[in-house]
Amino acid sequence: MEKNNLVYFVCGEPSGDLHAANLVAAWKRVNPSLTFKAWGGNRLSAEGVHLDAHVSSMSFMGFWEVFKNLPLIRKQFKQLQKELLAQKPALLILVDYPGFNLRMAKWAHDHQIKVLYYISPTVWAWKQNRVYTIQKYVDRLYCVLPFEPAFYERFGIQTAYFGHPLLDEVERYRQMSHSLPCFEKPILALLPGSRPQEIQKKLPLMLAAASAFQHSHQIAIACAPNLSLATYQSYLKDQDVYLSTGHTYDLLSKSELALVTSGTATLETALFKVPQVVCYKSSALSIWLAKKWLRIKYISLVNLILDRAAVPELIQDDCTVEQMQNELNQLLMGQPGRQAQLQSYEQLGEFLQQTGASQRIAQSMNTFLTA
């Protein structure tokens, strides 16, 4: 295999796998001669990318979980090093997942492998010293949030911003046919996350809060495809709850309002114009460390991009059943809070630019194959 034909992706989470897959699809149109391999997930695999490892074995959340899995992470790191030395890719594309990927950037740079970083690590939020690793070992950093380039310019780091690729994913969804059962009542969607510890912390609270709306709304859970239905069913009591596995966009396209775990889902919910309440609850240690190190005012992407509290954020002790219910009541049809969020979503769209980010990023990355 010719060195200049292989592009290698490293993703550690489902969201990175999604964006990498859309990038590969666009890159194939730009340069059909390329071969792609990856540490990734189902979306990259569906694009015909050969996987040397699956993200399901790599996704760890929280300080304690990372700590207790350090032996496995070290083993994975060494395995990837062997793969890269054997396959000698022309480009290594590291997608988010900074704890692992920034270390890999240094190693790859030291072994004369060209490194592009896709989806900036949130060094502007915490662990700002990581910016110097990017400065030294990354050939080009591709940002997906509009405020990021200005931050990196302070450190002399060359970045590229072509818009947010989620717009492409939402547009792709809208061009496909879909089916969702018809319900007599409007939908209250619960998006509790994709990791078991997220489900354990937040889903019982979400369900308890949603119970106050079960006579006026159909409660529905966006279930992660990497978890069994039994995981979710174990939290259900007598509630009439619809479980939607792997069809979050179907659910959001029909929902009236939502309870959402902080993360990419907050932005996806906004792009589908669904008023939301953002929820976050973690271990006491994780929260203590976050308060000590975080440099940001907000945790949801919507608020971070707009730089104001456009959607309510219920964090740790504020993430209670009563608070969720109070915030949801303000987002019902006809309420001023609902209209205010919808207006904020319009402004959000202006910040994120237009669709086509994946294509523009692919064109830019392709220039590094001949540089």
Judgement on whether residues 218 and 158 belong to the same structural domain of the protein = no
Question: What is the band of 348 on the pLDDT scale with cuts at 50, 70, 90?
Answer: very high
pLDDT of res. 1: 39
Nearest to 90 by CA among 159, 32, 43, 37: 37
Q: H-type helices in 144-294, by residue range? A: 148-153, 166-174, 196-210, 229-233, 248-254, 264-271, 284-293
Model pLDDT for residues 172-215, shown as the tens digit of each residue: 898 887 778 889 999 999 999 887 888 998 999 999 999 999 99
Model pLDDT for residues 93-115, shown as the tens digit of each residue: 999 988 889 999 999 999 999 99
Judgement on whether residues 107 and 81 belong to the same structural domain of the protein = yes
- Return d(Cα 165, Cα 301) in angstroms, integer: 14
What percent of the chain lies above the pLDDT cut of 70? Answer: 90
Residue 331 · residue 257 · CB < 8 Å: yes
- Return d(Cα 190, Cα 78) in angstroms, integer: 38
For 58, other C-beta atoms within 10 Å of its C-beta total 21
Mean pLDDT of 123-131: 81
Is the sign of the CA dihedral 173, 178, 183, 184 positive or negative? positive
pLDDT of res. 116: 98
Is residue 309 assigned to a domain?
Answer: yes
List, in order, residues 6 or more apart from 21 with CB less than 8 Å away. Answer: 40, 43, 44, 46, 47, 49
Judgement on whether residues 334 and 257 belong to the same structural domain of the protein = yes
Give phi and psi for 191, each to the nearest 5: -115, 90
Strand (E) or helix (H) holding 351: helix 336-351
CATH of the domain at 365: 3.40.50.2000
Domain interval for residue 226? 187-351
Give phi and psi for 36, each to the nearest 5: -120, 135
Judgement on whether residues 36 and 79 belong to the same structural domain of the protein = yes
Three-state SS at 11: strand
Model pLDDT for residues 215-225, shown as the tens digit of each residue: 999 999 999 88
Judgement on whether residues 347 and 360 belong to the same structural domain of the protein = no
Res. 72: pLDDT tops 70: no
Mean pLDDT of 258-284: 90
Res. 22: pLDDT tops 90: yes
Is residue 169 assigned to a domain?
Answer: no
Judgement on whether residues 35 and 107 belong to the same structural domain of the protein = yes
Report the DSSP pairing between strands 50-54 and 140-143: unpaired
pLDDT of res. 290: 55
Is residue 276 assigned to a domain?
Answer: yes
List, in order, residues 6 or more apart from 97 with CB less than 8 Å away. Answer: 10, 11, 12, 13, 16, 58
Report pTM.
0.84
Judgement on whether residues 209 and 82 belong to the same structural domain of the protein = no
pLDDT of res. 351: 86
Is residue 177 assigned to a domain?
Answer: no
Nearest to 323 by CA among 280, 289, 266: 280
The token pair at 100 is 């692992």
Judgement on whether residues 360 and 259 belong to the same structural domain of the protein = no
- Return d(Cα 344, Cα 305) in angstroms, integer: 11
Judgement on whether residues 156 and 207 belong to the same structural domain of the protein = no
pLDDT of res. 64: 47
Mean pLDDT of 76-87: 88
DSSP 266-323: HHHHHHTT--EEEEE---HHHHHHHHHH---S-SSHHHHHHTS-SS-EEEGGG--HHH
Judgement on whether residues 81 and 120 belong to the same structural domain of the protein = yes
Mean pLDDT of 243-253: 92
